[in-house]
Amino acid sequence: MDFLPLFFNLKSRQVLLIGGGDIALRKARLLKRSGVHLTVVSHVVDDELKALLIDSQDQIIIGEYHAELLEGKTLVVAATDDHNLHERVHYDALERNIPVNVVDTPALCTFIFPAIVDRSPIVIGISSGGESPVLARLLRARLETLIPNGYSRLGSLVGRFRNQVKATFGSVNERRRFWEHVLEGQIAEKVFSGRHDEAEALLEAAIEKGETGHQVGEVYLVGAGPGDPELLTFKALRLMQQADVVFYDNLVSAQVLDLCRRDADLIYVGKKRDDHAVPQEGINTLLVEHALQGKRVVRLKGGDPFIFGRGGEELETLKSHGIPFQVVPGITAASACSTYAGIPLTHRGYAQSVKFVTGQLKNRKDKLNFAELVHPNQTVVFYMGLHTLTELVDGLIGHGKPAETPVAIISKGTSPDQKVLTGTLADIAAKQYEAQLVAPALIIVGEVVTLQDKLAWFGDRVEEQAQTHALGMINTGVE
């Protein structure tokens, strides 16, 4: 280890910054966040840097650096493009035992600036020892996505009650168990969701009761999106990473499932048409049972939990048993798959409204209200309708929808295997019979489908494959 990671309290300390350009400005901003009194020396000082120093009543010296400026300083930073000057600053600082940083020159540094994830009072520093600052910044960017800003508020809350907890719990182990309960449970989640008063009230009650043991768990209904793991929300990923048990659907992709906590129990409760691994009532019971055991339960659903995901039914059961829950929206298939296929669901020139319709109703004898689905200037998206495509087409045409209305079928949308088949109400069933696109699939009906030729950017078009195959047969003499 070339550099020992340390955190210094620099509040009200005197720091010298040599340089007045863009790099010096970046260093000045960081230093000011730590509460230092800053002195900047340079022949020319950037206007933005000058404004920063004037606002905070710091010192600007226009002119040459000289060693006497180091007197009384706790830290010195050199941020110019003059290597000879940098060497002088380095040796002057060494003589006085003052920590020195010379930008982009690790050999002249006795300390370095890490890439910082700031969730004060929680601060994370990432360093490559000066070998690869870009890699350190990339790692910081990844951590930024995993650590919500709520950790700052959570750290402050814990700090306010630390002494009270120490007075309540006599042993280190008891305090550790208590804080684990707080930081991995409902109190932390309420902080993350902005319900600070509720979090503080729960914390005070937990201290008063001396709770360190078993408590009721919590259930998170998480929308897993249409399959592409990069479409998950930050919140979804965070909750998946802390789950004790995950109940997942058939439409949750393997790539998304891989992002769950490694030691979590993964339990499949998927549903396919006429094939339910676990009936809905059984799923509801499983969620309750595991939450009552004190576990953090993720119910992972393809798409969005509240759009044909039966999320409402599950929450009703949880509510009746007094089990706390959260719902994390996901990108629903209609939005994601149409976007990946290059089909905008609304467009000023084609459609001013959109309807999401399920092709699979709770009562199989129910009929769709086709009269509402045939209005002009409207896009209709059918979920789970591939197996009833002929009935859907006949119903739309039978209620007045023109047979030449464009239609698209998107199979395995957002995945590497995505395929798009386009046609009209008149011929889409025949085309699908030939193409045999597989579920999960989405059916889009409306004039917006004509834009797919111009806007497609992802996946394969079935027609293009067929044309390529036909040309190949002609060119090679195959009949």
Task: Report whether 454 contacts 350 (CB < 8 A).
Answer: no
Task: Report whether 238 contacts 148 (CB < 8 A).
Answer: yes
**Which residues, at least 6 apart from 364, have a Cβ–Cβ distance to it below 8 Å?**
none
Selection from 267, 235, 274, 273 nearest residue 252 by Cα: 267
Which pairing describes strands 14-18 and 75-78: parallel, antiparallel, or unpaired? Answer: parallel
Task: Report whether 183 contacts 158 (CB < 8 A).
Answer: yes
* Alpha-carbon span 277 to 269, nearest angstrom: 5
**Residue 23 known to bind ligand:** yes
* Alpha-carbon span 458 to 228, nearest angstrom: 12
The two structure tokens encoding residue 398: 């039978």
**Residue 19 known to bind ligand:** no
- Is the peptide bond preceding residue 402 cis, with omega within 30 degrees of 0? no
* Alpha-carbon span 78 to 138, nearest angstrom: 25
**Residue 22 known to bind ligand:** yes
Q: Is 319 a catalytic residue?
A: no
The two structure tokens encoding residue 286: 């499983």
* Alpha-carbon span 349 to 447, nearest angstrom: 9
**Residue 100 known to bind ligand:** no
Catalytic residue among 27, 58, 249, 412: 249
CA distances (Å), origin 334, targets 331, 344, 356, 372 = 8, 10, 8, 19
**Residue 390 known to bind ligand:** no
**Residue 226 known to bind ligand:** yes
* Alpha-carbon span 262 to 235, nearest angstrom: 18
- Is the peptide bond preceding residue 121 cis, with omega within 30 degrees of 0? yes
**Residue 303 known to bind ligand:** yes
Selection from 346, 345, 386, 385 nearest residue 368 by Cα: 385
* Alpha-carbon span 425 to 9, nearest angstrom: 70
Helix, strand, coil: what percent of the chain each, to 5?
A: 40, 20, 40
Burial (CB < 10 A; 0-12, 13-18, 19+), residue 84, is exposed
**Residue 118 known to bind ligand:** no
Q: Is 367 a catalytic residue?
A: no
Task: Report whether 222 contacts 242 (CB < 8 A).
Answer: no
**DSSP one-letter code for 442:** E
Selection from 20, 27, 24, 66 nearest residue 44 by Cα: 20
Catalytic residue among 265, 271, 355, 460: 271
The two structure tokens encoding residue 252: 């949750």
Q: Helices marked H in 297-455 — which ranges?
A: 311-320, 333-341, 389-398, 428-435, 452-455
Question: Could you tell me which residues are beta bridge partners of residue 220?
Answer: 298, 326
Which of the residues are catalytic? 249, 271
Binding site, annotated residues: 22-23, 43-44, 226, 302-304, 307, 332-333, 384, 413
Binding-site residue ranges for NAD(+): 22-23, 43-44
Binding residues for S-adenosyl-L-methionine: 226, 302-304, 307, 332-333, 384, 413
